[in-house]
Amino acid sequence: MIARKLISLCLLLWAGPVVAQDAVRQAFEQYSQKAFQEKVYLHSDRSFYVVGETLWFKLYVVDGTTHQPADLSKVAYLELLDASHTPVLQSKVSLEKGKGHGMLILPATLNSGRYHVRAYTNWMKNFSADLYYEKTLTIVNSFTKVPTQEKEAQLDLQFFPEGGHLVESLPGRVAFRGINENGFGSTFSGTIRNAADETVATFQSEHLAWGLLY
């Protein structure tokens, strides 16, 4: 009987540290899971682009402590930020064993300047955004808008007074027509002004660009 009690006591004394070790290990594992951090690295094919070109990239997600490939996240997010840090392009990248790749087509709507590529995972949102990966790129927009100047229509305006001549202070009729730069009759209208820049008559062409003033 005494021997059995001694054996039981020894078992209890041996099991106590084992249980305590298991509890400590479980607590450590839970802490490690909560404190686990990912880091993202990105490699682009270049650091200088012209709008219309394609930005090719590869992503690597690693354990923030061991720097070994991390398999926690299955999707990474990539953003192209302008000078004010506003996203102008966004992309989702599928991850397999901590690796992914993709591309961004740079539209002609982007202005010339320095841009930032930012990459992160959804898990990384649990921590500071300062841990997101960022890389600086230069993008040039070589397309310039050339203002178009409207060409003034060239009009040959011809007048034909009745009788062949105008006589001062005498009323008369004057036929007129307008010929455009291509040699065809053109619809038009106009005004006649005196020396004081006052409008004394208006006119408008009618059939086949001809008209008549009274």
Note the pLDDT of residue 21: 61
Order of strands across the sheet that contains 54-63: 38-44, 54-63, 99-105
Note the pLDDT of residue 146: 46
**Given the structure tokens 């899971």, which residue do they identify?**
33
The 3-state DSSP class for residue 95 equals coil
Note the pLDDT of residue 193: 80
Q: Name the token pair of 42.
A: 């990105």
What residue ranges in 34-82 does DSSP mark as E strands?
A: 38-44, 48-50, 54-63, 75-81
Note the pLDDT of residue 28: 44
CA gap 12, 146 in Å, rounded = 90
> pLDDT tens digits for the chain (214 residues)?
666 665 665 555 666 555 556 665 665 455 455 578 999 999 999 999 999 999 999 999 999 899 999 999 999 999 999 999 999 999 999 999 999 999 999 999 999 999 999 999 999 999 999 999 999 999 999 875 545 555 566 777 777 776 666 666 677 777 777 777 776 777 778 777 887 888 877 877 776 677 777 6
CATH number of 37-140: 2.60.40.1930
Element holding 155 (H helix, E strand): strand 155-161
Note the pLDDT of residue 20: 52
Rounded to two decimals, the pTM is: 0.54
| DSSP assignments along 187-200, one per residue | --EEEEE-TTS-EE
Going by C-alpha positions, the residue among 70, 61, 77 that lies closest to residue 32 is 70
Radius of gyration of the chain (CA): 42
CA gap 6, 205 in Å, rounded = 128
CA gap 122, 124 in Å, rounded = 5
- Domain ranges across the chain: 37-140, 155-213
Degrees to nearest 5, angle at CA 140 with 135 and 143: 155
